Amino acid sequence: MTNSPPWYETFFDGLYGKVLASHFSEDRAQAQAELIKKLLKLRKGQRVLDCPCGVGRITIPLARMGLKMTGVDLTAAYVRQARRRAKREGLDIPFIRCDMREIDFDGEFHAVINWFTAFGYFDKAGDLATAKGAFRALKPGGKFLVDVSNKSWVLSHFVASDTSVINDVEITDTRQWNANIGRMESDWTFRKGKQIERQHVSLRLYDGAELRAVLRKAGFREIHLYGFPPLGRLSRHRRRLIAVATRPKESS
C-alpha cells in the first residue's frame, strides 16, 4: 500500500486549476501587483522572486512594470501556462518548477513574494523551511512579502459549508477547524456536467503574532503587519493578513 501524495501536489491539476484560470480578472491582478510594488518600494530593474507564482498572475504584471521577475511553482501545468503567457507578451521571465521549500537561490533578489495564502500548506517545519529559503534568496536588506488569510477573521466568520459556481464548475467547500493543530481541514467537491472531483485541503492559518514568530525564527527583522482589504492596520475585521519582513543588512 502506497501513501497518497500531499494535497498540494494534486489539487491544482484538476478542476480547481480550470476554475482559478478564469476566476481573477486582469484588472484585479494589476491592482494587486501595484499594491505589492508599493508595499515593497520596488524600483524598475530590481530582481523579484514570485514563489509560488501559479500561472504568472502577479509575475507578469510586475514584469510589465520593469521588474526583473523569476517565478517558481510546483504545479507543472501552471509553470507551462506561465511560460506561454510570458512568451506571448515578449517578456523574458524564467519560470521554474520547484517545491518552494527547496528553492536554491543565494542573495539574488531584492524581494520575494508569497501571495494568496500559499504560506501554510505544510507542517511547521515546512513553513519555516519556506521562510528560510526566502531569507537565503534575498540580498541583505531585501524584503519578503507574505499574504495569507487572517486567522482571526476566518474563525470569527466561520461557515461550515458553502457552494458557488465559477466558470460552469459547481464548488462545494465543507470545512472543519482543528484547533489542536491550528489547521483548517476542507473537503472540496467540484462538479462540471457529469464530471465530479473530490479533494481534501489542509491549511495552517496564522494570526499576526504567529506569522511574525515564524518570520523572526527564519532570521527576518523589521516585520510590518497589515490588514487587507483595504490596506491598513491589522485587525480581526480584515479578511487578509500581509506581512513585509526584511533580511538584515548584516545577518547574524
Residue 157, SS3 per DSSP: coil
Is there a contact between 164 and 241 (Cβ–Cβ < 8 Å)?
no
As a whole number of angstroms, the distance between CA 50 and CA 58 comes to 8
8-43 CB burial, b ≥16 within 10 A, e <16: beebbeebbbbbbeeeeeeeebbebbebbbebbebe
Among 152, 156, 115, CA closest to 233: 152
Structural domain contains residue 147: yes
Structural domain contains residue 210: yes
Structural domain contains residue 222: yes
State the average pLDDT for the chain: 95
Structural domain contains residue 190: no
Structural domain contains residue 130: yes
* pLDDT above 60 (res 2): no
Q: Alpha helix locations (H) across the chain?
A: 15-23, 26-40, 59-64, 76-88, 124-137, 151-156, 208-217
pLDDT of residue 252: 47
Could you tell me the residue range of the domain that residue 85 belongs to? 22-153+205-246
Residues 127-177 have pLDDT tens digits of 999 999 999 999 999 999 999 999 999 999 999 999 999 888 999 999 999
As a whole number of angstroms, the distance between CA 62 and CA 60 comes to 5
As a whole number of angstroms, the distance between CA 195 and CA 226 comes to 40
As a whole number of angstroms, the distance between CA 164 and CA 169 comes to 8
Is there a contact between 215 and 241 (Cβ–Cβ < 8 Å)?
no
pLDDT of residue 17: 83
pLDDT of residue 21: 66
- Residues near 13 by Cβ (< 8 Å), separated by ≥ 6? 75, 77
Q: Would residue 56 be called left, alpha or beta, if left means φ above 0 and alpha means ψ between -120 and 50 degrees?
A: left
**DSSP structural state of residue 3:** P
Residue 242, domain CATH: 3.40.50.150
Give bridge partners of residue 73 from the DSSP assignment.
97
Number of domains in the chain: 1
* pLDDT above 60 (res 100): yes
Residue 214, SS3 per DSSP: helix
Residues 191-220 have pLDDT tens digits of 999 999 999 999 999 999 999 999 999 999
* pLDDT above 70 (res 125): yes
Residues 9-57 have pLDDT tens digits of 999 998 998 787 667 889 999 999 999 999 999 999 999 999 999 999 9
Structural domain contains residue 90: yes
Is there a contact between 158 and 151 (Cβ–Cβ < 8 Å)?
no
Structural domain contains residue 15: no
Structural domain contains residue 9: no
- Residues near 172 by Cβ (< 8 Å), separated by ≥ 6? 161, 162, 163, 188, 189, 191
Residue 155 CB-half CA count within 13 A: 15
Residue 46, SS3 per DSSP: coil
Residue 50, SS3 per DSSP: strand
The arithmetic mean of pLDDT across residues 103-107, rounded, is 98
